[in-house]
Amino acid sequence: MPRPERAFRTPCVIVKRRDFGEADRILTILTPRHGKIDVVAKGARKLTSHKTGHVELFTRVDMLIHKGRDLGIAVQVELVEPYLRLREDLQRGAYANYAAELLDRFTLTDDDDASELYRLFDQTLARLCTDGDPLLAVRYFEMHLLDQVGFRPEITNCAVGHEPLLPEDQFFSYAAGGVICSRHAAQASGAFPISMTALKLLRHIQRSPFEAIQALRVPEAIHTEADRIMVGYITFLLERRLQSIDFIRRLRYTH
Ligand SMILES: [Zn+2]
């Protein structure tokens, strides 16, 4: 059997970082071919650290990683794309934080191929650095992240009866996982109205490449409505997911 490689080099984006011991940091990174992993950046909090100095959040770097017994160790870090604006502009930085947190909470640490997710997250950081509407970049990220992690909202057909939706105001149900028509909404609990305009925006974001939506001028009220629906749906999914993790833990410890 060939010996497993002790070290590998990979492009990655820094998703999260936290202090570790006296001088080190643990970085959560997203890589195209190894998925999301945690690595230790030794001495990263010392001013004299050169080799692993470029470990700012939301930068794209090239990293040489030695496999440790538990965690990998970042032994060399080369800055490729600083995405400086995300640390200079508070609002855009906050959107990057939100995207990073979603990414972190919807993915597990493993060796899965994550090239599409990697591209999506990296492109989102780049889009947040342009002068475009940052909310469009965030909505696009949310929608396509949900798609990739298996929670694509149903917004083309009725999520209950599966018949095509008519171009009119409809309802949205977190529990049903999407939009439902007025007829089926009467039978579903917790469905609330969604305007045709907000629905059109979400559909456009779901099925178009970003280039086709980036120049849209979205009225404030529609942004607010789309925001309420997407953040609400995501919160619902995360709470349900946390509950199922709790449930599995309880099972594990009581048997
Ligand atoms: Zn229906």
Q: How far is the CA of 165 from the centre of ligand 1 (A)?
A: 7
Domain boundaries, the chain: 7-131, 140-254
In the structure, ligand 1 is a single-atom ion and the residues with CB under 5 Å from it are 158, 161, 181, 184
Residue 38, classed as helix, strand or coil, is: strand
Looking at residue 69, the DSSP 8-state letter turns out to be S
Q: How far is the CA of 216 from the centre of ligand 1 (A)?
A: 29
The reply to whether CATH 1.25.40.340 applies to domain 7-131 is no
Over 179-213, what HEC string results? Answer: EECHHHHCCCCCCEEECHHHHHHHHHHHHCCHHHH
**Number of neighbours of residue 22 by Cβ within 10 angstroms:** 8
9: Cβ–Cβ under 8 A, 6 or more apart, which residues? 62, 63, 64, 65
Q: How far is the CA of 210 from the centre of ligand 1 (A)?
A: 29
Q: How far is the CA of 175 from the centre of ligand 1 (A)?
A: 14
Q: How far is the CA of 187 from the centre of ligand 1 (A)?
A: 10
Taking the CA atoms of the chain, what radius of gyration do you get in angstroms?
21
Q: How far is the CA of 202 from the centre of ligand 1 (A)?
A: 18
- Write down the pLDDT at residue 102: 94
- Write down the pLDDT at residue 1: 53
Q: How far is the CA of 242 from the centre of ligand 1 (A)?
A: 29
- Write down the pLDDT at residue 255: 43
Q: How far is the CA of 181 from the centre of ligand 1 (A)?
A: 4
Please state whether beta strands 24-31 and 35-41 pair in parallel, antiparallel, or not at all (unpaired).
Answer: antiparallel
- Write down the pLDDT at residue 177: 95
Q: Is the pTM of this model over 0.95?
A: no
- Write down the pLDDT at residue 152: 96
- Write down the pLDDT at residue 96: 96
- Write down the pLDDT at residue 123: 98
Residues of the chain below pLDDT 70: 1-5, 47-54, 110-111, 244-255
Q: How far is the CA of 145 from the centre of ligand 1 (A)?
A: 26
CA pair distance 111, 83, nearest whole angstrom? 26
Q: Where are the alpha helices (DSSP H) in 21-133?
A: 85-88, 90-106, 115-128
